[in-house]
């Protein structure tokens, strides 16, 4: 598998469940699913959902039944799964190398276990440095009422979404509401990109909305996604979503023409926070690396990098307010990558922010503070360890209003910072 940031070596702090999770990810796909093959860019529904086939009732030459994305979801919901949605090698591809499905009415919520595998698209490049989704879902309906593209309800626990692009939807790109054990990986949420061409048209609300759906026995994983230009948060975490892993996502930056890591431009920001962990979220969410030396790159977002409203979160090894490798795109300046508020804003308790070596966060270009402890609510008993603030990965000083702002709270420990 490929992530936006190539894996280097395992971090020594990985727990046994993370190693097990890694093995699952590296082995995917490994389940015995029924395969439904999408061969059409149409949007018709299933003619007879539950008949064991994906069929809109249309056909080519009376031989090949039409299977649309919508019909495949309806069929998967109608019969006990699990199912795998793959892309036919014969699917129509435009001159830019991707296949766009125009969605004008709400897709059905997914209520069975489904793997949506955009990596089966004939133009997917498994050797590319960046994930390059070639199946695109684009909303063409009204902005009201609001609909998310992929809605994973509790009955779809264990579902996975790999390698698709989602743009222009009137609510969020992907929404999870209950269940557990989800994998959301290598998607481009808010745009589509091929070498030399970037089309950004973010979703009206969030890139990914996690409204419950993870626990210690069966955590969910959000890994290797590009999340840009969405109207509110890049990722929103709420309603007891706990023990999730967020790794190697690029949030708020848009790919440049050549597709390299140094090519990401200082635009594509989401409207509010890169990641917002609401007070209602559960504990032990890990915003941190899995394999490589980088966790998430969070830059250019409207309100700030990471908002932490829930207790007991783990935030380590991220790059915030800076280019991916510390090198701006040739037409940009280093300060162009800053988020609109604090790099990390904490209004909760007992969180771990940073650590030794690759576990430190690197934070630059914050409008207010690199790390702010407390606001309208206090932040108590947090550990803020060995972070680098106001200095890029290459050692260059960057603009910073305040390194660490002790605004409201007590019992916080800040050690080993380089500011």
- Number of domains comprising the chain: 1
Range of the domain at 255: 16-33+81-415
The candidate with the shortest Cα–Cα distance to 280, out of 340, 209, 232, is: 209
pLDDT band at 13 (very low <50, low <70, confident <90, very high): very low
Residue 364: CB atoms within 10 A of its CB come to: 29
* Strands lying side by side in the sheet with 369-373: 150-153, 174-177, 208-211, 235-238, 273-277, 304-308, 344-346, 369-373, 402-406
The strand ranges marked E within 1-128 are 34-38, 59-60, 64-65, 83-87, 99-103, 114-117
- The residues, any chain, with a CB within 8 Å of residue 357's CB and separated by 6 or more, are none
Percent of the chain with pLDDT over 90: 72
What is the pLDDT, as a whole number, of residue 62? 67
Query: Phi then psi for 77, rounded to 5 degrees?
Result: -70, -30
Cα distance between residue 248 and residue 224, in whole Å: 5
C-alpha angle 138-245-6 in degrees, rounded to nearest 5: 75
Predicted confidence (pLDDT) per residue in 307-330, tens digit: 999 999 999 999 999 999 888 988
Pairing assessment for the beta strands 226-227 and 188-189 based on DSSP bridges: parallel
User: How far are the Cα atoms of 108, 138, 227, 345 from residue 170, in angstroms, in the given order?
Assistant: 15, 10, 16, 28
130 in any annotated domain: yes
104 in any annotated domain: yes
What is the pLDDT, as a whole number, of residue 301? 97
pLDDT band at 292 (very low <50, low <70, confident <90, very high): low
Predicted confidence (pLDDT) per residue in 49-84, tens digit: 999 999 999 987 667 899 999 999 999 999 998 999
293 in any annotated domain: yes
What is the pLDDT, as a whole number, of residue 17? 42
Query: Phi then psi for 262, rounded to 5 degrees?
Result: -80, -5
Cα distance between residue 188 and residue 255, in whole Å: 10
63 in any annotated domain: no
283 in any annotated domain: yes
Q: Are 324 and 295 in contact (CB under 8 A)?
A: no
- The residues, any chain, with a CB within 8 Å of residue 406's CB and separated by 6 or more, are 373, 374, 412
Mean pLDDT of the chain: 90
pLDDT at 105 > cutoff 90: yes
- Rg, Å, the chain Cα set: 21
**DSSP string covering 196-256, please?**
TEEEE---SS-SEEEES--BTTB--EEES-EE-S-SS-SEEEETT--S-EEES-EES-B--
The candidate with the shortest Cα–Cα distance to 166, out of 194, 125, 221, 208, is: 208
Cα distance between residue 293 and residue 295, in whole Å: 7
**pTM as predicted:** 0.93
101 in any annotated domain: yes
- The residues, any chain, with a CB within 8 Å of residue 366's CB and separated by 6 or more, are 304, 305, 320, 321, 338, 339, 341, 342, 343, 400, 401
70 in any annotated domain: no
What is the pLDDT, as a whole number, of residue 395? 87
73 in any annotated domain: no
Which token pair is 222? 């959000």
What is the pLDDT, as a whole number, of residue 260? 74
Q: Are 176 and 212 in contact (CB under 8 A)?
A: yes
β-pair partners for 85? 36, 116
SS3 154: helix
Cα distance between residue 291 and residue 23, in whole Å: 12
């Amino acid at each position: 598998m490929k992530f936006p940031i190539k894996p280097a070596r395992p971090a020594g702090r990985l727990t046994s469940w993370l190693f097990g999770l890694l093995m699952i990810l590296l082995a995917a796909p490994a389940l015995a699913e029924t395969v439904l093959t999408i061969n059409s860019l149409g949007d018709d529904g299933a003619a007879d959902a539950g008949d064991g086939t994906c069929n809109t009732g249309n056909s080519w030459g009376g031989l090949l039944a039409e299977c649309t994305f919508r019909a495949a979801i309806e069929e998967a919901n109608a019969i006990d799964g699990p199912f795998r949605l793959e892309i036919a090698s014969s699917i129509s591809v435009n001159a830019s190398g991707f296949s766009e499905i125009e969605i004008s009415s709400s897709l059905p919520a997914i209520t069975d276990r489904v793997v949506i595998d955009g990596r089966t698209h004939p133009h997917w490049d498994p050797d590319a440095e960046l994930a390059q989704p070639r199946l695109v879902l684009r909303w063409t309906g009204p902005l009201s009422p609001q609909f998310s593209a992929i809605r994973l309800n509790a009955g779809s626990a264990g579902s996975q979404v790999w390698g698709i692009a989602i743009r222009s939807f009137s609510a969020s790109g992907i929404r999870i509401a209950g269940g557990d054990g989800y994998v959301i990986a290598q998607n481009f949420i808010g745009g589509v990109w091929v070498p030399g061409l970037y089309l950004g048209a973010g979703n009206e609300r969030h890139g990914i909305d996690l409204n419950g759906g993870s626990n210690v026995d069966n955590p969910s994983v959000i890994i290797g996604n590009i999340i840009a230009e969405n109207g509110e948060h890049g990722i929103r975490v709420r309603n007891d979503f706990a023990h999730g892993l967020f790794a190697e996502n690029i949030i708020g930056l848009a790919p440049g023409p050549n597709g390299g890591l140094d090519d990401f431009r200082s635009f594509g920001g989401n409207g509010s926070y890169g990641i917002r962990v609401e007070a209602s979220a559960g504990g032990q969410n890990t915003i941190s690396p899995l394999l490589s030396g980088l966790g998430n790159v969070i830059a250019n977002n409207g309100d700030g990098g990471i908002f932490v409203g829930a207790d007991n979160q783990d935030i380590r090894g991220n790059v915030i307010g800076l280019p991916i490798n510390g090198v701006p795109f040739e037409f940009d300046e280093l300060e162009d990558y800053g988020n609109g508020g604090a790099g990390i804003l904490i209004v909760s308790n007992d969180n771990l922010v940073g650590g030794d070596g690759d576990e430190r966060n690197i934070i630059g270009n914050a409008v207010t503070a690199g790390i702010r402890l407390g606001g309208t609510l206090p932040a108590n008993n947090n550990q803020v360890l060995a972070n680098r603030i106001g200095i890029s990965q290459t050692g260059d000083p960057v603009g910073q209003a305040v390194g660490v702002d002790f605004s409201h709270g007590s019992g916080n420990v800040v050690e080993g910072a380089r500011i």
